[in-house]
Amino acid sequence: MGLLKDKVVLVTGGTSGIGRAAAVLFAEEGAKVAITGRRAEPGEQVVDEISKAGGEALFIRADATDIAGAGDVVRRTVEHFGRLDAAFNNAGTAMVGPLTELDEKTWDVLVDGNLKSTFFYLQAEAAQMKRQKEGGSIVLNGSVFAELGIEGISIYSASKGGVTALARAAAVELGPDGIRVNSVNPTVIRTPLTETGITRNEDGTEYHPHGEKIPLGRLGEPEEVANATLFLLSDLSSYITGQTLMVDGGQSVN
């Protein structure tokens, strides 16, 4: 359909999982895509996949928690492609543990990796879009657990709750510049990490304990989150800002 035709899109954490699926989809929809990641090999693999399909992509090696590097990533994206039209701030991290046993280091890792990094990338992206004076769209990756209480992930939930609150506040502040900011809030998504918990039933169907909590009865796929993000980045959602789109198989209403 070409929903992002000739747009330049930055995807943080774009080398695996949701980020990779998003980068590939955006390229299929006509975008020129810049992706970040900590390891060069998977980053170059994504670029190669996009290039072989006829798209344009750039890999920038960067750790999202390196706050000083956010501006450099945006600068390099603009130097390569000439502008920045949209961004998916996807990079994040997760750790679990009982609330009474979590320490300050765990707090710092989760808040820095999920909230602090998201804010400073948002800041750098918005500044570039304001300079261009042509608006833009930014999507932040939150979590269904920003809305739902579940044991063992208190700090993770708090950090993702901050992400969704940030999207609302940024939408108000950046709206006059034509910059839309929204968040997608996925449930547990199938990734190499979560697949370790999947078993197969005798009839060939898959079972994951978290799937029992989801009305649709299964984990989400990275491509399903990518599709939701595509909608929010594209002009199909041109009058939507400051919103949270739950991509959770109905878990948040169960």
Is residue 89 a contact partner of residue 167, using CB atoms and an 8 Å limit?
no
Query: In whole angstroms, how far apart are CA 61 and each of 41, 73, 112, 171?
Result: 10, 9, 18, 28
16, 117, 137, 143: which is the annotated catalytic residue?
143
Per-residue tokens: 187: 């449930």
Clarify whether 156 is annotated catalytic. yes
Tokens 């198989």 -> residue: 249
Clarify whether 121 is annotated catalytic. no
7, 156, 183, 234: which is the annotated catalytic residue?
156
160, 183, 234, 252: which is the annotated catalytic residue?
160
Tokens 């590097």 -> residue: 69
Q: Which residues contact 201 (CB under 8 A, 6 or more apart)?
A: 207
Clarify whether 237 is annotated catalytic. no
* Separation of alpha carbons 13 and 179, rounded Å: 22
* Residues involved in catalysis: 143, 156, 160
